[in-house]
Amino acid sequence: MTTKNTKNTIPSRTVTALVNDKPGVLNRITSMLRRRGFNIQSLAVGHSEIEHLSRLTVVVEGGDDIVEKITKQLHKLIDIIKVNDISDDNIVSRELALIKVNSDTKTRSEIMQIVSIYRAKIVDVSSSSIIIEATGDDQKIKALQDLLSSFGIVEVMRTGLIAMNREKK
């Protein structure tokens, strides 16, 4: 997983899949990606609306040609029900980040202003630091992280992107 603060220039594609919710399935998926030399930028898995099935969103490095190879290889895994490259679709994508930033009485209010502009939340405060919870797409999280970096970021934890197609209006 890449956690660069600089602007990401590597092209990436977003793939979603409906998979069996069984032990070892995630291992099959990541093992295939590793074996074929594909690089994962982020991966998020959770229960779907269907019993015994999980949904996963994987963001992979590469262009159209790479993602086509990946979806074809994923299709061959027995535990995968459905695979979609949704990069070019009209999608909603979100990621949740927890960011711990250095903060004292002098900087606290400035940080709070930034947090409010970004519609993020402060979830913990101590004498020396603040934990911020932010939701958004990759760009928003990165922009917030950039702004906060001047205060000194102690730790960043991100869930990885999840994505869903919008219904046609």
Partner 1 sequence: MKLTGSEIVCEALIKEGVDTVFGLPGGAILPFYQTLSGYPQLRHILVRHEQGAVMAADGYARATGKVGVCISTSGPGATNMVTGLAVAMMDSVPIVAITGQVARPAIGTDAFQETDVTGVTLPVTKHNYLVMNAADLPRILKEAFFVARSGKPGPVLIDIPKDVQTELADFDYSIELDLPIQTPILKGKDSDIKKAIKMIEKAERPLILAGHGVILSQAYEELKEFSEKSQIPVVTTLLGLSAMKSNHVLNLGLPGMHGSAFANKAIDEADLIIAIGMRFDDRVTGNLKTFATKARIIHIDIDPSEIGKNILPEIAIVGDAGTVLRQLLPLSPKKTHPKWLQEIDQLRINHPLSYPETDRILPQFIVEEISRITKGQSIIVTGVGQHQMWAGQLYEFKDNNLFISSGGVGAMGFEVPAALGAQVGQPDKVVWTIAGDGGFQMTLTELATMVEANAPVKIALINNFSLGMVRQWQELFYEKDYFATLYTGNPDWVKLADAYGIKGIKVTEKDGVETAIEQAMNTPGPVLVDFQVDKEENVYPFIPPGGGVEQLIEYPDTKVV
* Binding site residues, partner 1, CB under 8 A: 24, 27-28, 31, 35, 65, 68-69, 72-73, 75-78, 80-82
In the complex, the smallest distance separating the C-beta of residue 84 from partner 1, rounded to whole angstroms, is 12
Q: How far is CA 88 from CA 63, 138, 164, in A?
A: 11, 16, 12
In the complex, the smallest distance separating the C-beta of residue 26 from partner 1, rounded to whole angstroms, is 12
Residue 161 has phi, psi (to 5 degrees) of: -75, 140
Q: Toward partner 1, which CB reaches closer, 65 or 167?
A: 65
**DSSP-derived 3-state class of residue 5:** coil
Q: Toward partner 1, which CB reaches closer, 6 or 27?
A: 27
Interaxial angle between packed helices 64-76 and 25-35, expressed in degrees from 0 to 180 and rounded to the nearest 10: 140
Q: Toward partner 1, which CB reaches closer, 71 or 107?
A: 71
In the complex, the smallest distance separating the C-beta of residue 103 from partner 1, rounded to whole angstroms, is 44
In the complex, the smallest distance separating the C-beta of residue 76 from partner 1, rounded to whole angstroms, is 6
Type of residue numbered 57:
T
**Whole-angstrom distance, CA of residue 39 vs CA of residue 62:** 8
Q: Toward partner 1, which CB reaches closer, 70 or 134?
A: 70
Q: Toward partner 1, which CB reaches closer, 68 or 155?
A: 68
In the complex, the smallest distance separating the C-beta of residue 58 from partner 1, rounded to whole angstroms, is 17
Q: Are 157 and 97 in contact (CB under 8 A)?
A: yes
**Whole-angstrom distance, CA of residue 59 vs CA of residue 162:** 9
